[in-house]
Amino acid sequence: MSNPAPGAKSSLLAKTLGPLLSDPPWAAKSFLAASATTVAGIGAWLSDMMSPTLARAGAGFLCGFLLGWAFRKTLKLALLITVSLVALIAVLKTTGWIHLEWTLIESDVNRTLDWARGQTQALKDAAIVYLPSAGAAGAGAFFGFRGK
């Protein structure tokens, strides 16, 4: 029996992770438009033509877009890992290699979800304080999650 080609593993890895690593945020039209708006706003503000509002709105959109894009990619990766782990656990349980204590697992999951809720609330509070324009950031997060 022959061994697979040395590039076969990397090809499988590239096929699996390719969709997760593709579609960079700077390829989106709205990201490019917000970048141009931010640069124009900074230029107008530095030349005393207008207030920094345009630059703040553009920067808020860019930050929101990057957060939405990162959340979408993280969600896809988490889903891939979760499905893989569930399949592995199902195989190990079916073969009798492991025995699971469901009460311990349930308490661990609940504790992890409570921690995640707290972290999400802290992120939301930080975003409200630090992002220059919450409306633009919300729109950016929406478009970033959609990838448009």
Q: Is 131 helix (H, G, I), strand (E, B) or coil?
A: coil
86-142 tens-digit pLDDT: 899 889 988 988 888 889 989 999 999 999 999 989 888 877 776 667 778 788 888
Instruction: Tell me: pLDDT of 5 over 60.
Output: no
pLDDT per residue as tens digits for the range 29-88: 888 888 888 888 888 888 877 778 788 888 888 888 888 888 888 888 899 999 999 899
pTM (global) more than 0.75: no
- State the DSSP string of 44-93: HHHTTSS-THHHHHHHHHHHHHHHHHHHHHHHHHHHHHHHHHHHHHHHHH
Give the pLDDT confidence score for residue 19 in this predicted structure. Answer: 62
Burial 123-133 (b: 16+ CB within 10 A, else e): eeeebeeebbb
Closest-CA residue to 132 (of 48, 61, 80) = 61
Rounded (10°) CA dihedral 14, 20, 24, 29: 130
What residue segments make up the domains of the chain, in order of their start? Answer: 26-146
